Amino acid sequence: MRKTDFTDLDGKVLRVFLTILEESSVSKAADRLGVTQSAISHTLAKLRQVLGDPLFVRSGQGLTPTERALSLKDPAQNVLDAMRALTENRPFDPMLEDMQFQIATNDMPRELIFPELLRATRAEGVRLRLGFIPSGVPDPDLLRSDRCQLMLTPLPPDGPDIFQKRILCSPLMIFYDAERRCPPDSWHAYCATEHVDVRFPDGRSSRAVMRGVDQSQIRPPTVTLPHFNAIPSFVKGSDLISTDTALMKRGPLAALDCAPLPFKCEPVSIYMVWHQRSANDPAHRWVRNRIESTARALQT
């Protein structure tokens, strides 16, 4: 039996392994990492030879990890985290680094903050690449598995290894088409009105941000959508309404009219969330500061 030579393993190889484990697919891992499928296959072949195990076997349209692969998940992630920690005190100049971040967020924070942030950093000559995945009601394992490095969400996940900071606060508003209707002017009228709602993949509703309100009295949604960008198409030209943050008027719901809620409801806060492994990384700190300053400018 060939003896395992640990020097054949490096951070890039471990990252490929963890990504295949997360995606259960060579092609999806290649897309996520921005490399070719052949590069992923070559790395997987190298891992199989070094570790003396197939690691993944084909099952239907995807790959199923072996017991050996599953047992290596946490050790591989720990090694990557330790390697990342070695660079925390490195000299950092944003002009000299190629920075890439995967961010979990929904439509509004993505479209409100990041186009402006990217324009500003590119004008400065900073090489910054951003990828986005929908956060829905976010799971802390997205951060723990390094599937993303940041989240922006009104519903931050909990955990002793999860850090968060509030970067935006906005009241909830009624979005509607003024050519078709007036906004409801009382709690009773609001509850009786037909609504458009967003429902995330885990089944939870965007109404989760409506705190201090008895939602059992509100009429069930007439239309349920997978993301906020689709709301204007259904509200425009109809009697339907949508309840979302005032900041949506500067983003996905710019085409709609809006009015205050006719009842008391707590404003919605948007939090920036990250894993403790990234807390002291200078590039990560730099990006967090830029996100925070961009968000702050939106409320001045």
Q: How does pLDDT run across 207-260, given as a tens digit for each residue?
A: 888 988 898 999 999 999 998 999 999 999 999 999 999 999 988 899 999 999
Q: Are 250 and 294 in contact (CB under 8 A)?
A: no
Nearest CA to 277 out of 115, 162, 194, 112 is that of 162
Within 8 A by CB and 6+ apart from 254, the residues are: none
Residue keyed to tokens 């190889």: 13
Q: Which residues contact 173 (CB under 8 A, 6 or more apart)?
A: 243, 244, 245, 246, 248, 249, 258, 259, 260, 261
Confidence class for position 180, pLDDT limits 50, 70, 90 = very high
Question: Looking at the predicted structure, is the pLDDT value of residue 29 above 80?
Answer: yes
pLDDT in the model for residue 3: 52
pLDDT category of residue 89 using cuts at 50, 70 and 90: low
Residue 94 has pLDDT above 50, yes or no: yes
268 membership: H or E segment, kind and range: strand 268-275
* Residue 179 pLDDT grade (very low, low, confident, very high; cuts 50, 70, 90): very high
Alpha-carbon dihedral sign for residues 141, 146, 148, 152: positive
Provide mean pLDDT across the span 54-60: 87
Distances (CA, A) of 119 to 126, 248, 286, 291: 10, 20, 16, 13
Residue 60's pLDDT is what? 78
Check pLDDT > 90 for residue 5: no
Q: Is the pLDDT of residue 168 over 60?
A: yes
- Tell me the pLDDT band of 6, cut-offs 50, 70 and 90: low
What pLDDT, on a 0 to 100 scale, did the predictor assign at position 1? 41
Average pLDDT over residues 61-83: 85
Which contacts of 139-147 are long-range, i.e. CB under 8 A and separated by 24 or more positions? 139/202, 142/104, 143/273, 143/274, 143/275, 144/77, 144/275, 145/18, 145/22, 145/77, 146/15, 146/18, 146/77, 146/80, 146/275, 146/277, 147/22, 147/102, 147/104
Averaged pLDDT, 90-107: 88
For residues 5 and 249, the model is more confident at 249
Q: H-helix or E-strand containing 99?
A: strand 98-105
Amino acid 290: pLDDT? 96
pLDDT exceeds cutoff 60 at 40: yes
Determine the pLDDT at residue 211: 86
- Residue (of 71, 188, 208, 68) closest to 135 by Cα position: 208
* Tokens linked to 288: 């967090």
Give residue 7's pLDDT band: very low, low, confident or very high (50, 70, 90): low
